[in-house]
Amino acid sequence: MLTETNDKILGYLTEELMATRFIDNGDGTVTDRETNLIWQKDTAPERNTWPEAEKYIQQLNEAGFAGHNDWRLPNNEELSTLILSRETSKRLYLDPIFGSQRCFWSSTTRGHHVACYVDFFYGGVYRFEENYVNHSVRAVRGDMRKTADKQQSAA
């Protein structure tokens, strides 16, 4: 009983701490203060296959979403920075600011017709036949700040 209570408290504390990490920019984007990446807050209206995900990103850029045309599908490393160490109250390893979608396509591929995705229900990176399954799409822009860069800017 005490362990369950402690887990709930730690989960809520994690959500509180994450609230200072992610900033809602009010234009459909969220800035991650830890990585310096800017994320699309909502996802594509529908889940897509991997090739459709690339087309969706192209449409965002053509429309100048949030005043920018350099949106891209995030790679495994970028998407993995969003995986939390504990589940939130939504039962996902994803900050609530991003909603409750579970699986997101990555730009990372492995071999012929195999694309990677991040599953925020299990908190891991997986690969799948790109034309076989539909996943959510969330665009990203900016250059990811590495750990060494973070330490240097803190000094």
The 10s digit of each residue's pLDDT in 111-153 is: 777 889 999 999 999 988 766 789 999 999 999 886 545 444 4
Residue 56 CA neighbour count, 13 Å, CB half: 23
Say if 88 falls within a structural domain: yes
pTM for the full predicted model: 0.80
What residue numbers bound the domain in which 17 lies?
2-143
Say if 87 falls within a structural domain: yes
Query: What's the angle, vertex CA 66, arms to CA 64 and CA 69, rounded to 5?
Result: 35
Structurally, the chain folds into a number of domains equal to 1
> pLDDT by residue (tens digit) across 35-72?
999 999 999 999 999 999 999 999 999 999 999 999 99
Q: Which CATH number covers residue 57? A: 3.10.100.10
Distance CA 55, CA 132 (A): 16
Say if 44 falls within a structural domain: yes
Say if 152 falls within a structural domain: no
Is the pLDDT score of 16 beyond 70?
A: no
Burial call 108-136: b when 16+ CB within 10 Å, e when fewer: beeeeeebbbbbbeebebeebebeeeebb
